[in-house]
Structure 1
Amino acid sequence: MGKRYKVAGIPGVRDRSFETLEDAKAWLRRSATDEERGEFVDPRDGSITLADYIARHWAPGRSGAPKTQDGQERRTRLHIVPHLGHLPLRSITAADLRAYVAKLDGTVVSVDYRRGILSELSSVLEAAVDDKRLVANPMRAKSVRWPRAAQERREAWPLETALRIRDVISPRNRIAVVLGLGLGLRQGEVFGLSPEDIDHGRGVLHVRRQVQAIKGRLYFALPKGKKTRVVDMPPTVAEELKRHIAAFPPVEVELPWGKPEATAQRRKYSLLLTTRFGNAVAVNTWNTYTWKPALAKAGVIRPQAEGAKQWQWQAAPQDGFHVLRHTFASIMLEAGESVVTVARWLGHSSPAITLGYYAHFMPEAGSKGRTAVDALLGRTGNSMPVQTPQILPTAGPGRSRSTSGSGGGRGLQG
């Protein structure tokens, strides 16, 4: 026998059928109450699977920089859909998510990357709440515990290692090492640098663009955070730039601006560093065929195994180009440069970020304060003499004996 009673005619809600009149009335009462509270969700809207919801409703509405969107797509495709994509939205429970977090703990090493995956999943489920497909976001359950944010410390190379890399890398690419080590530029910023960005008169360099790649397609974009900046340029770096330009004249390159699509506006810039064929440099290709061979020559990583393909190298996540930037920061901070200034040169949004990453490169942190207090309290005048506390033996059970210090002060009693 089919269902005999139908609830119909509610704006925005699909008709529902019930076997008994009592069930129909009970559902209608609960729905009316939830509607008044603003909590009504038609359960059938949550029957869509997480994978389908992401593909049909979440992905098309993503916004942000192309590189950001690419990262979001990769996290959902590789880490969310394979594990949870088959579940209907309404069936995703806190228990499912606790098991998922535990699985990530065992398969994804980086705490920050794990948190990024969970943040992406939470954003998807939050959108489902906004779309009235879920009553609440299960990622917000108290029992679903995210991995604690790591207190990241950036590690630098000894200066001798960085200089060895500079000296063994090919002459055309030497300038990349100089700019990373001497100015703290990011890799894409080096590849996007133009002669027009160099101001020899003022001794500064303008960081105005970078070269990025998505799925092998190159394009120009603003530096990270969409912020240009001005970096102090030491004379030694300025001389290296002059020698590089004389030996390897800049080449004009045209690429899309802002996104890699063919429909994007295109711009032309003369680039300081290009391939032998006059093309913009692709980060992944450069890392494989230029950077890794230099690491091997300098003894930072093992040479290629016999019979290995040209692109097969030892993994070296701590020895990527970014370590030059960390080494630059360490040199500046150990030399006593202001954290605010270093943050500005690095393009950090706040000096707090710089401190969080690089505070361990400041070996004298605290010593200036101690010196100032010592100078203040050590002034001559009506000051109390400094006493040395003493720990004294007890005279017997329940009794103690004390003596005076040389200046009349009390000792600590044992």
Structure 2
Amino acid sequence: MRAKSVRWSKAPEDQREAWSVETAQCVRDVINPRYRITVVLALGCGLRQGEVFGLSPQDVDFERGVIRVRRQVQLLNGRLYFTLPKGGKTRVVDMPRSVAAELAAFFLQCPAVEVELPWGGPEPERERRAFPLVLTTTYGNALRANIFNVEVWKPALAKAGVIPMREKAGSWKASRKDGFHILRHAYASIILEAGESVVTLARWLGHSSPTITLDHYAHFMPEAGGKGRAAVDALLGEVPAYVPENLALA
């Protein structure tokens, strides 16, 4: 086992599960109308929950059809703060026209509210920055993931039939795989099944390498190799009518 030619076996790839389009649409339609846009942004652009909570109208470019993901809202030890997206990098994601239309309508109904929080961590001594946020509570505060998940997200899952309805004074019976992040997985599955490149998806998701995207989502790519076979067939032409008996075609 000390020999350099021996390699430890690799752990199974960390493949992600995704909802069907029908399930995602159902959750979008039954969630509290004020927060419908959270599902639209996660399902339509692949934003993480904290990135949705930290989105500002200033980050939305309707003319170019893109969203600039510049910050997220995080919660630590009961305190909220702004910080850069995961990995410490900002990114630009494509904004489909359907998402743009929903955002434009939402901006008219719910004007942004400026929120000031520490930057980079929850410590009071940190520099504070203020941004107009697309989403806030009815009191004008930044959203807290723990409260949102209990009071908005899980009730929507129950209405959609994803999880059982909560018994009185009981806790929600939801598995980790049904968290808000599953919308991001559904987004990835939709993009790959549509034939978009892994490199493009990796850029939109904010992955440091397309390898990470492949490890997580390669199983969503339909008929792997199909395009390559079609390209070769187009180059070489039709298969000859006569094929020697000793040549087996797979």
TM-score (ref. length: structure 1): 0.56
| 1:183 and 2:45 are equivalent in the alignment | yes
Amino acid paired to 1:388: E
From 213, 235, 243, the equivalent of 1:386 is 243
| Residue equivalent to 1:351 | 210
3-state SS of 1:292 partner:
helix
**Which residue pairs with 1:101 in the alignment?**
none
1:54 maps to: none
More relative contact order, 1 or 2 (CA 8 Å, 6+ apart)? 2
The answer as to 2:223 corresponding to 1:361 is no
More helix as a share of residues: 1
- What is the one-letter code of the residue matched to 1:324? L
SS state at 1:341 partner = helix
- Identity among equivalent positions (%) equals 63
Alignment RMSD, CA only?
2.0
SS at match of 1:340: helix
Match of 1:342 among 161, 180, 201: 201
Question: What is the SS of the residue equivalent to 1:255?
Answer: strand
Classify the secondary structure of the residue corresponding to 1:267.
Answer: strand
Look up the match of 1:161. 23
Q: Tell me if 1:282 matches 2:144.
A: yes
1:50-69 counterparts in 2 under 5 A? none
Deviation at 1:301, TM superposition (A): 0.2
Q: Deviations over 1:84-108 (max 9, x none)?
A: xxxxxxxxxxxxxxxxxxxxxxxxx
Q: Distance in 2 between matches of 1:211 and 1:155?
A: 25
CA contact (8 A) 2:116 2:131 kept: yes
Q: Which amino acid aligns with 1:319?
A: D
Deviation at 1:346, TM superposition (A): 0.5
Match status 1:208 vs 2:70: yes
Q: Call closer, same or farther: CA 1:385–1:239 in 2, change over 3 Å.
A: same
Closer, same or farther: CA 373–148 of 1 in aligned 2, 3 Å: closer
Q: Give the partner amino acid of 2:120.
A: G
CA contact (8 A) 2:75 2:81 kept: yes
Which of 153, 174, 195 is the equivalent residue of 1:315?
Answer: 174
8 Å contact 2:157–2:163 — kept in the other structure?
yes
Matches within 5 A, 1:109-188: 149-188=11-50
Work out the CA distance in 2 between the residues paired with 1:171 and 1:379.
55
Would the aligned equivalents of 2:67 and 2:95 in 1 still touch at CA under 8 Å?
Answer: yes
Deviation at 1:247, TM superposition (A): 1.2
User: Partner of 2:82: helix, strand, or coil?
Assistant: strand
1:376 to partner: Cα distance:
4.1
* One-letter identity of the residue aligned with 1:244: F
The structure-2 alpha-carbon separation of the partners of 1:177 and 1:233, relative to structure 1 and needing over 3 Å to count, comes to: same
Q: Counterpart of 1:356 in structure 2: which amino acid?
A: D
Residue 271 of structure 1 corresponds to 133
Q: Is the 8 A contact 2:154 2:174 kept in 1?
A: no
3-state SS, counterpart of residue 124 of structure 2: coil
Does residue 332 (structure 1) correspond to residue 191 (structure 2)? The answer is: yes
Shift of 1:252: 0.6
Structure 1's 384 and 294: CA in aligned 2 closer, same or farther, altered over 3 A?
Answer: closer
Determine the C-alpha separation between the residues in 1 that align with 2:210 and 2:17: 18
SS in 2 for 1:302: coil
Distance 1:148 1:362, change over 3 A: closer
Structure 1 distance, partners of 2:234, 2:61, is: 44
How many Å apart are 1:147 and its aligned residue?
9.9
Q: Which deviations, in whole Å up to 9, do the C-alpha atoms of 1:230-264 show, x marking residues without a partner?
A: 01111110110011111111111000000100000
Q: Which runs of 5+ in 1 are unaligned?
A: 1-145, 390-408
Give how far 1:203 is off. Answer: 0.9
For the residue of structure 1 that corresponds to 2:64, the secondary structure is coil
Amino acid across the alignment from 1:369 = G
Q: 1:196 aligns with which of 58, 61, 65?
A: 58
In the alignment, residue 286 of structure 1 is paired with which amino acid? F
**Match of 1:256, as an amino acid?**
P
Report deviation, 1:385: 4.6
User: Deviation string for 1:345-394 (max 9, x for gaps)?
Assistant: 000001111111111111121112222333444469xx8952234xxxxx
Q: Which has the larger radius of gyration?
A: 1
Q: Which of 201, 221, 228 is the aligned partner of 2:90?
A: 228
Moved more, 264-273 or 239-248: 239-248
C-alpha displacement at 1:338, in angstroms? Answer: 1.0
